[in-house]
Amino acid sequence: MVSAGDFRNGLTLEIEGNVYQVIEFQHVKPGKGAAFVRTKLKNIKNGGVVEKTFRPTEKYPPAHIERSDMQYLYHDGDLFHFMNVETYDQTALSADQVGDALKFVKENEMVKMLSHQGEVFAIEPPLFVELEITSTEPGFKGDTATGATKPAVVETGATVYVPLFVEQGETIQIDTRTGEYMKRV
């Protein structure tokens, strides 16, 4: 059990049947009345953020989040298939469970599957991926002092904004957290 006085950023807890991660916390000692802990909590299953206050003596059980390396195999219809490379166990997840996590992930690439008590709630793609540009408009000469960009479609079907000098057929590196172009490879 973790008391509210010991909250830290990144700590995961079970509160009222839900799993929350502490995003921000602040110990408040008003001039009058008892001290309390003001927090911002993120529900890790649905992504919602709530603000909540606790007395420093309140206790909650820590939530253990399991992160397992899985290989993204393929997608058919509404299901995405993954395989544990150590045990060769396969898992199929619906499009609702996966969300936009695989927007920049090609088949046979490794991802992290996050679960709590056996229930998968999120997929974490690698931080950076290298993808080939399948279509983009040709760059044009002109005012490039402002860092102009153009849309480009990569091999997974996602659209990324790239500098004007990047051409179709080139391989680029993308930051999957922001979806931004990093560099040519």
pTM as predicted = 0.70
Confidence label for 15 from pLDDT (cuts 50, 70 and 90): confident
Q: Is 98 helix (H, G, I), strand (E, B) or coil?
A: helix
Q: What is the mean pLDDT of residues 113-117?
A: 84
CB–CB of 117/44 below 8 Å?
no
Q: Using the structure block, give the residue that is written with the tokens 């007395």.
A: 55
- Predicted confidence at residue 140, as pLDDT, reads 67
Out of 2.30.30.90, 1.10.540.10, 2.30.30.30, 3.40.640.10, which CATH number does the structure's domain 2-60 have? Answer: 2.30.30.30
The pLDDT score that the predictor gives to residue 178 is: 86
- The answer to whether 97 and 72 are in contact (CB under 8 A) is no
CA distance 154 to 136: 9
